[in-house]
Amino acid sequence: MSKNIIKTQAVKKTFEQGKIKVRALRGIDMEVKKGEFTAISGPSGSGKTTLLNMIGCLDNPTSGQVEVAGKEVSKMSKTQMANLRLHKIGFVFQAYNLVPVLTAFENVELVLALQGVDKKKRKKLCLDILEEVGLKELASRRPAEMSGGQQQRVAVARAVVAKPALILADEPTANLDSETGARLLEMMRKLNKDHNITFLFSTHDKMVMDYSSRLISLSDGMIKNDILKQQN
């Protein structure tokens, strides 16, 4: 069985804006192994978010192949892609994307409920992960009653509670001050090590790049550098 959690082959993506064609990705060949803590960097328009959307089954490439958790997703139906997202991929977004009318506990529970996990088991899993991210005492608070850093920790807890194979984090520190961002990255690094969950970041943030074990740099829809750092 392949150790790769992600594999892309000659992935291209072209968007049409009126009569203009924008080549967002121009042939991406990339492999990410299970348990990696990898950042994709590059200037705006380099293709970072587009690539994450391909890997996250949120969009299809114009050409090429994308494999996630051993599944060739670039030819899947929307229903099959949604099912893979639900069971194999966790998402952490720049804007947190919490449901404002739900408590921290209910936001974290949402994925497990969609997966059909038994209510008693859901409760234990949610309380355990909230404790792990240091928010068990805030389980009954709604997003508006929490700081940005606390909301992002809830978003991370929601992403990891079902132990997905892969976490995709799109600019997760962008709305946080440097101290809060560092604490968030420490927490995600610990979750990565303790649970062997693969993290793939899209980022402009040098701190995220510094924390990563591997740094892939994009420019004009192509990989310019791929650096595996010395492991701590």
Q: Which two tokens mark 33?
A: 């192994």
CA proximity to 31, closest of 232, 226, 179: 226
pTM for the full predicted model: 0.92
pLDDT digits (tens, 9 = 90+) for 175-217: 888 998 998 899 899 999 998 999 999 999 999 999 999 999 9
For the segment 215-228, the average pLDDT, to the nearest whole number, is: 96
Q: How much of the chain exceeds pLDDT 90, in percent?
A: 80
For the segment 136-152, the average pLDDT, to the nearest whole number, is: 95
At residue 3, the pLDDT reads 87
Q: Which residues pair with 25 in a beta bridge?
A: 13
Q: How many residues does the chain have?
A: 232
At residue 141, the pLDDT reads 97
Distances (CA, A) of 231 to 10, 39, 166, 190: 29, 15, 20, 14
pLDDT digits (tens, 9 = 90+) for 65-91: 999 999 999 788 999 999 999 999 999
At residue 50, the pLDDT reads 94
At residue 231, the pLDDT reads 58
Are 212 and 39 a contacting pair, CB within 8 Å?
Answer: yes
Are 39 and 204 a contacting pair, CB within 8 Å?
Answer: no
Are 171 and 204 a contacting pair, CB within 8 Å?
Answer: yes
Domain 4-228: homologous superfamily in CATH:
P-loop containing nucleotide triphosphate hydrolases (3.40.50.300)
At residue 229, the pLDDT reads 83
Strands (E), 112-221: 166-170, 198-203, 214-219
Taking the C-alpha atoms of residue 68 and residue 57, their distance in angstroms, rounded to an integer, is: 9
| Domain ranges within the chain, ordered by starting residue | 4-228
Q: Which residues pair with 218 in a beta bridge?
A: 223
Are 207 and 181 a contacting pair, CB within 8 Å?
Answer: yes
DSSP 8-state symbol, 62: S
CA proximity to 189, closest of 168, 172, 165, 213: 213
Confidence of residue 1 (pLDDT cuts 50, 70, 90): very low
